[in-house]
Amino acid sequence: MTWTSLFLKTDKMKVLVLGAGEVGERRASRFIQAGAEVIVTGGKISDNLQKLGAMTKPINEIEILVEWADLVVLASGDGEMNNKVANLAGEKLLNRADTPLEGNVIVPTTFSIADAQISIFTGGKSPLMARMLRKKIQSIITPEDILKIELQDYSRTKLKECVANQKLRRNYLYQISNDSEINKCLQENNLEEAMVLVNSFISQLDDSDSKINNQGNSSENPDEFYNGQNSKNQNSNNKGSMNQNSKNIGEDSF
């Protein structure tokens, strides 16, 4: 597969949608809600889309509209017109609802639960299976998972104030995530008490942690330090345990 998943900041982006049918309306609505400026051409837009803030322009202005756009979305049932506009778009960002793999941007099936946003792409093979997989994933995400996101954000911020070593922070974040008392609070929907326990955890970081923090990453081999610190903390009753493989992490810095 020659595609990779990315999240695109669309605030104030200029999006042209060709086609005002069901797919065109759905994509126009999605981009408007993400802060984009959207123009729809090639059909009459619905009252709902108009209320959201979509603008409409006549199709005979298509060349000017393509030039204006940062992203062009082709959602027309007219294949010939789609191809014409795709040629006009050139190297611009292009999403094709008719033949997705011929564009350079995919708009996958996506859902959000609080701050967790999950998208599924099957390589263009089965939009139906993408929707079914979405429902499966939705069914297993719990309110506790969402609270964990909030708590991890809080914990990362607090740890960055006192722990410079990224691998050490990762170690602590896993321990916080696996701590039974903290998880009990989250299961009881008590985020504030969980934060109190996180503060207590951070306050108990010992002198060797502070020493490494002061030295930063320059005077220690991060992998050697991380492995040693992990072994030490697994034997500590008040710091929980962390048995995840750190090399499998791929979202962003801790």
CA distances, 151 to each of 128, 170, 230 (Å): 34, 14, 21
* CATH number (domain holding residue 79): 3.40.50.720
Q: Which domain holds residue 54?
A: 14-107
Q: Where a domain ends, among 48, 80, 107?
A: 107
Give me the pLDDT at residue 253, please.
63
Mean pLDDT by 10 residues, the chain (254 residues): 90 97 96 97 95 97 98 97 97 95 94 90 90 93 94 96 94 96 96 97 73 43 40 41 37 61
pLDDT tens-digit series, residues 41-68: 999 999 999 999 999 999 999 999 999 9
Distance CA 210, CA 215 (A): 9
- Is residue 173 situated within a structural domain? yes
Rounded to two decimals, what is the model's pTM?
0.74
- Note whether 36 and 10 are within 8 A (CB): yes
pLDDT tens-digit series, residues 207-254: 455 444 544 443 334 443 334 444 444 444 444 333 333 334 345 566
DSSP state of 20: -
Give me the pLDDT at residue 115, please.
87
Q: Where a domain ends, among 46, 79, 107?
A: 107
State how many domains the chain has. Answer: 2
Residues 234 and 147 in one domain: yes
Alpha helices of the chain — where are they, by DSSP H? Answer: 22-33, 47-52, 62-68, 79-89, 127-140, 143-160, 166-178, 180-187, 191-203, 207-215, 222-234
Residues 240 and 152 in one domain: yes
- Is residue 45 situated within a structural domain? yes
- Is residue 132 situated within a structural domain? no
Distance CA 36, CA 13 (A): 5
